């Protein structure tokens, strides 16, 4: 008989997963559609969606770190969290127009983003290094299944752990380097004289926007399908079917996306 995995519906419950799936797919798709109309409402909606995703992702990352280092997050639920973070992202996004020096704000934002990438690297690397002993019931970790392209693999397999550890370290390092390097762009305009113009043209190009959306949707669908297969094939989960406060809260947080879209469409005024 398989070792039972204690459920945690506030992490892997259907309400939590569904709200994140909707926020990611609907938010990005609606942003693309509104961009075809251009104008200030589209810009505000794009920033709102990016902010919603980043805040929820950062909150999930910090909570997962706290729970992990207190031995309250199992290997199975750590894997779920890593998949959800891949969908949400956790780059800090500011929405308003600020009165203080834009260059200084740019530097602070990218330093903070680099720190969040460090935190993600710590969580991901720690999860795979400590996979056999992670959580308060490590005896069940050997029965946890991971899914890659539809194939089951034991999550504690050394080859899988080494591969995931290497990928986590590489991605985190690349993101940290990119974030710190981007600080130089506005402060060294003579090095990158056409950088902003090229980026602006790319954002306004309809073909590039469609390719970007298609790539994101393909990636998101793969992550979602993989996560659902992981949950389905770890059949010994006990308690995840309970509908909890956290799941209900997650679904109601989609109200923010709905109200921002309604404002962008001009259905009612939010901004004066």
> What is this structure's pTM?
0.85
Q: Is residue 64 part of a domain?
A: yes
Q: Would residue 103 count as lying in a domain?
A: yes
75 occurs within a structural domain = yes
* CA triple 52-214-253, angle to 5 deg: 20
- Residue 1 inside a domain? The answer is no
Boundaries of domain holding 129: 8-264
Q: For residue 2, is it within any domain?
A: no
pLDDT for the residue numbered 128: 95
pLDDT at 97: 54
For residues 49 and 112, the answer to whether their CB atoms sit within 8 Å is: no
Query: Does a structural domain hold residue 271?
Result: no
All residue ranges of the chain with pLDDT < 50 are 270-272
Domain count, the chain: 1
Looking at the domain assignment, is residue 272 inside a domain?
Answer: no
pLDDT of residue 272: 47
Report yes or no on 79 lying in a domain: yes
**CA distance linking residue 232 with residue 72, whole number of Å:** 22
Whole-number Cα distances in Å, 262 to 34, 43, 48, 86, 259: 11, 14, 12, 27, 5
- Res 245: pLDDT: 85
Measured between alpha carbons, how far is residue 46 from residues 19, 27, 151 in Å? Answer: 18, 8, 36
Q: What's the CA gap between 170 and 154, in Å, rounded?
A: 23
């Amino acid at each position: 008989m398989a070792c039972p995995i204690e459920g945690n519906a506030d992490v892997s419950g259907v309400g939590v997963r569904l709200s994140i799936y909707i926020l990611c797919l609907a938010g990005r798709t609606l942003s693309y559609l509104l961009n075809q109309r251009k104008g200030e409402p589209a810009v505000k909606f794009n920033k709102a969606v990016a902010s919603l995703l980043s805040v929820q992702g950062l909150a999930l990352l910090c909570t997962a770190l706290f729970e992990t280092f207190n031995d309250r997050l199992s290997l199975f639920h750590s894997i779920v969290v890593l998949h959800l973070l891949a969908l949400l992202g956790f780059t800090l996004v500011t929405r308003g127009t600020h009165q203080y020096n834009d260059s200084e704000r740019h530097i602070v934002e990218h330093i903070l983003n680099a720190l969040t990438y460090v935190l993600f690297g710590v969580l991901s690397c720690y999860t795979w290094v400590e996979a056999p002993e992670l959580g308060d019931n490590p005896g069940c970790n050997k029965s946890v299944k991971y899914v890659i392209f539809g194939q089951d693999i034991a999550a504690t397999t050394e080859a899988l752990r080494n591969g995931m550890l290497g990928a986590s370290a590489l991605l985190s390092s690349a993101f940290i380097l990119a974030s710190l390097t981007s600080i130089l762009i506005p402060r060294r305009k003579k090095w990158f004289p056409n950088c902003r113009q090229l980026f602006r043209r790319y954002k306004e190009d309809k073909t590039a926007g469609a390719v970007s959306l298609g790539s994101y949707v393909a990636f998101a669908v793969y992550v979602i399908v993989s996560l659902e297969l992981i949950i389905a094939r770890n059949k010994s989960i006990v308690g995840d079917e309970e509908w909890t406060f956290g799941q209900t809260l997650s679904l109601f947080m989609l109200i923010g996306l709905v109200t921002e879209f309604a404002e962008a469409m001009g259905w009612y005024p939010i901004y004066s």
